[in-house]
């Protein structure tokens, strides 16, 4: 058995954020009613954006700074982009119109949508596709060639999810493992140990370093990490082996509060459609461009969230 290393990391997610403790699913607010007031377009007010990136904070700052500058120029008003420490904080902020735009994982967006009517308006394409997958990975040296091989030796395997609120880093692979009878929760499972590492890049590092035997990650983020490692002469692509892949998932949405005007939504969408800055695109799963999104594209994740009881419904 390997010595278990607990990772205490403040990281983001882009699906996936790290705090001193794993994220909990957001409970419905109890004061007032979220989403009641319309969001007014005030050209003199600060346009506030919250992101929960899925890589460590330092890896994203240049891209976020560039995004802030682009949107400030394009919208003709001050734009502030902030990295939030956890999903719960962003959901509460979007529910109560404390922010104007949020970058969320599909699961967290659906929680906000169900609680307050928050609306998906933008997503990103990677290599011309708006879809990504949940992958379960292991080290290339492992004898496991598929998930079935891993599960046959699950009692001896240490497994890492990203954030508890991550769609590809927990919900989708966790539900699949649950359906197979190997996982219910962090404390009830058939593995040697389960860990929530906080972000997809940390899960990848844990698997590459053989600190854990397997982990769940976002396929687009994994590919972006591999490309960056290739450019630096690394061996990540050779070190990692994918042993399971989910059905396709629609990419992470950019979300506005309920009641935002159609005029302002269209203005924000157009500003994103114009983005070609490689630093901005890189930090959002290695995106190639931003495209329009709507609520209907996340119906499969909604169904999974209900089945896994990770969605609080009004």
Domain ranges of the chain: 47-126+252-307, 131-249
Which residues, at least 6 apart from 191, have a Cβ–Cβ distance to it below 8 Å? Answer: 154, 155, 157, 158, 159, 182, 183
Pairing of strands 289-292, 119-125: antiparallel
For 100-153, the pLDDT digits (tens) are: 999 988 999 999 999 999 999 999 998 889 999 999 999 999 999 999 999 999
Q: What percent of the chain has pLDDT over 90?
A: 68
Tell me the two tokens of residue 262. 């159609």
What three-state secondary structure class fits 233? coil
Please name which of 265, 299, 252, 266 lies closest in space to residue 101, comparing C-alpha atoms: 265
Full-model pTM: 0.77
**pLDDT value of position 40:** 52
**pLDDT value of position 86:** 76
Q: Which residue's entry shows tokens 């609520």?
A: 295
**pLDDT value of position 193:** 97
Tell me the two tokens of residue 283. 């930090």
Query: Can you list the alpha helix ranges (DSSP code H) found in the chain?
Result: 61-75, 87-95, 106-116, 147-152, 172-179, 200-208, 219-231, 236-239, 262-273, 278-283, 299-307
Which residues, at least 6 apart from 5, have a Cβ–Cβ distance to it below 8 Å? Answer: 206, 211
- Does pLDDT of 3 surpass 90? no
For 177-194, the pLDDT digits (tens) are: 999 999 999 999 999 999
- The mean pLDDT value for 218-227 works out to 91
Please name which of 207, 194, 206 lies closest in space to residue 240, comparing C-alpha atoms: 207
* 131-249 matches 47-126+252-307 in CATH topology: yes
Confidence of residue 18 (pLDDT cuts 50, 70, 90): very low
State the Cα–Cα distance between residues 69 and 274, nearest whole angstrom.
13
**pLDDT value of position 127:** 86
- Does pLDDT of 15 surpass 50? no
- Does pLDDT of 68 surpass 60? yes
Tell me the two tokens of residue 173. 């692979």
Which residues, at least 6 apart from 154, have a Cβ–Cβ distance to it below 8 Å? Answer: 182, 190, 191, 192
- Does pLDDT of 25 surpass 70? no
Structure-model confidence comparison of residues 58 and 207, the more confident one: 207
State the Cα–Cα distance between residues 13 and 39, nearest whole angstrom.
25
Structure-model confidence comparison of residues 308 and 18, the more confident one: 308
- Does pLDDT of 36 surpass 90? no
- Does pLDDT of 11 surpass 60? no
- Does pLDDT of 88 surpass 70? yes
Least confident of 157-166, 195-204, 302-311: 302-311
Instruction: Tell me if 93 sits within 8 A of 257, measured CB to CB.
Output: no
**pLDDT value of position 284:** 86
Please name which of 312, 280, 253 lies closest in space to residue 68, comparing C-alpha atoms: 280
Instruction: Tell me if 283 sits within 8 A of 64, measured CB to CB.
Output: yes
**Phi and psi for 60 in degrees, rounded to 5?**
-110, -15
Structure-model confidence comparison of residues 311 and 114, the more confident one: 114
**pLDDT value of position 42:** 52
Looking at domain 47-126+252-307, its CATH class is alpha beta
Q: What Rg, from alpha-carbon coordinates, does the chain have?
A: 19
Which residues, at least 6 apart from 281, have a Cβ–Cβ distance to it below 8 Å? Answer: 63, 124, 275, 287, 288, 289
Please name which of 294, 296, 272 lies closest in space to residue 284, comparing C-alpha atoms: 272
- Does pLDDT of 292 surpass 50? yes
Looking at residue 133, what DSSP letter applies?
A: -
- The mean pLDDT value for 161-170 works out to 92
- Does pLDDT of 223 surpass 60? yes
- Does pLDDT of 23 surpass 60? no
- Does pLDDT of 10 surpass 90? no
CATH of domain 131-249: 3.40.190.10
């Amino acid at each position: 058995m390997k010595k278990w290393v607990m990772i205490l990391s403040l990281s983001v997610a882009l699906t996936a954020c790290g705090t001193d403790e794993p994220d909990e699913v957001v409970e419905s607010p109890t004061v007032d009613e979220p989403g009641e007031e319309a969001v007014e377009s005030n050209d003199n007010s600060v346009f506030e954006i919250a992101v929960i990136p899925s890589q460590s904070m330092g890896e994203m700052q240049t891209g976020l700074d560039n995004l802030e500058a682009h949107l400030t120029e394009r919208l003709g008003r001050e734009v502030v982009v902030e990295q939030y420490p956890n999903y719960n904080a962003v959901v509460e902020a979007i529910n109560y119109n404390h922010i104007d735009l949020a970058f969320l994982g599909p699961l967290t967006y659906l929680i906000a949508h169900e609680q307050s009517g928050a609306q998906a308006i933008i997503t990103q394409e990677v290599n011309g596709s708006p879809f990504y997958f949940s992958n379960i990975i292991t080290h290339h040296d492992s004898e496991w060639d598929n998930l079935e091989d891993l599960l046959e030796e699950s009692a001896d395997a240490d497994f890492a999810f990203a954030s508890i609120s991550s769609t590809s880093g927990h919900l989708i692979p966790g539900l699949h493992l649950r359906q197979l009878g190997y996982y219910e929760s962090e404390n009830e499972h058939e593995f040697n140990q389960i860990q929530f590492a906080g972000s997809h890049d940390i899960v990848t590092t844990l698997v590459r370093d053989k600190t854990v035997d397997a982990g769940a990650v976002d396929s687009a983020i994994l590919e972006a990490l591999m490309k960056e490692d290739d450019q630096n002469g690394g061996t990540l692509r050779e070190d990692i082996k994918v042993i399971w892949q989910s059905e396709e998932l629609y990419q992470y949405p950019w979300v506005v509060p309920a009641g935002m005007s159609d005029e302002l939504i269209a203005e924000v969408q157009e500003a994103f459609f114009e983005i070609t800055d490689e630093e901005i695109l890189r930090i959002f799963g290695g995106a190639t461009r931003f495209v329009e999104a709507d609520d209907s594209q996340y119906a499969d994740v909604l169904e999974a969230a209900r089945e896994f009881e990770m969605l609080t419904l009004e």
